[in-house]
Amino acid sequence: MGDTGVNLAISTVIFALRPAPDGGAPTLWIPLVRRIRDPHLGLWALPGGPLLPEESLAEAAAHNLKSTTDVEPRYLEQLYAFGEPDRSPGDRVVSIVYWALVHSGEAEQLAEGENVRWFVADEVPRLAFDHNTIIEYALWRLRNKMEYSRIAHALLGETFTLTQLREVHEAVLGRPLDPANFRRQIESSGDVVATDQVVTGGRHRPPRLFRYIGSVDLGDTGPLSG
């Protein structure tokens, strides 16, 4: 606000699944942008920018996301507003932060540039401002949400094998899950159902494809989601 010297910014934590750095299992990654001016010139930071007059907050976050990664979010939710007086040197900046999930298929074609790079979410370097804290909180929110909602859906295609579904859970939670236990838990939840399709490719016992039942709101913003 001009008269009290408070600036408002919108930033976005973008999660996507991509193979681990060693080419292994799907892993949670986030794109960061390099600061090209002070404060914190040269450090990596969350993508963000000012709020344009005609944009809603979510539109500004989607706009961030599109200009950083060139993909549309599968899921976008407001995370939190960060406004400690000392979080930006020399300036008072309040950041309203969103978090987004990008579909893994789309994320594999993402370009990196000199000033945009993808990092394994649990292994980011020291970032500008309080952005390490923000990512830690976004990871906590995502992991919590994985336990009680269908948020994994946003990281999968319309159909998926139970192995793919488990790999999404493992990537987000950052730990391996027992395949037989996971299968039992998913089957008893009643959330997914087998389709009459299998994975093509000539294997002797091709794995079956599943889909989520019905269309359920992925978020939990209740009256705001209508």
* Residues at the contact surface with its own copies, assessed by CB under 8 A: 1-8, 50-57, 78, 80-81, 83-85, 92, 94, 96, 133, 136-137, 140-141, 144, 220-224
Q: Compare residues 136 and 170 and give the one whose CB is closer to its own copies.
A: 136
- Min. distance of Cβ 13 from its own copies in angstroms? 13
Q: Compare residues 214 and 223 and give the one whose CB is closer to its own copies.
A: 223
- For tokens 């804290």, the residue is 133
Contacts of 177 (CB under 8 A, 6+ apart): 166, 169, 170
Residue pair 48/95 in contact (Cβ under 8 Å)? The answer is: yes
Q: Compare residues 23 and 222 and give the one whose CB is closer to its own copies.
A: 222
Spatial distance between the Cα atoms of 128 and 126, rounded to a whole number of angstroms: 7
Can you list the alpha helix ranges (DSSP code H) found in 70-130?
104-107
- Min. distance of Cβ 100 from its own copies in angstroms? 16
- Min. distance of Cβ 28 from its own copies in angstroms? 16
- Min. distance of Cβ 169 from its own copies in angstroms? 19
Q: Compare residues 80 and 182 and give the one whose CB is closer to its own copies.
A: 80
Can you list the alpha helix ranges (DSSP code H) found in the chain?
57-69, 104-107, 131-148, 162-173, 179-189
Q: How far apart are the first and last CA of the chain?
A: 30
- Min. distance of Cβ 156 from its own copies in angstroms? 25
Sign of CA dihedral 135, 47, 124, 163: positive
Q: Compare residues 79 and 107 and give the one whose CB is closer to its own copies.
A: 79
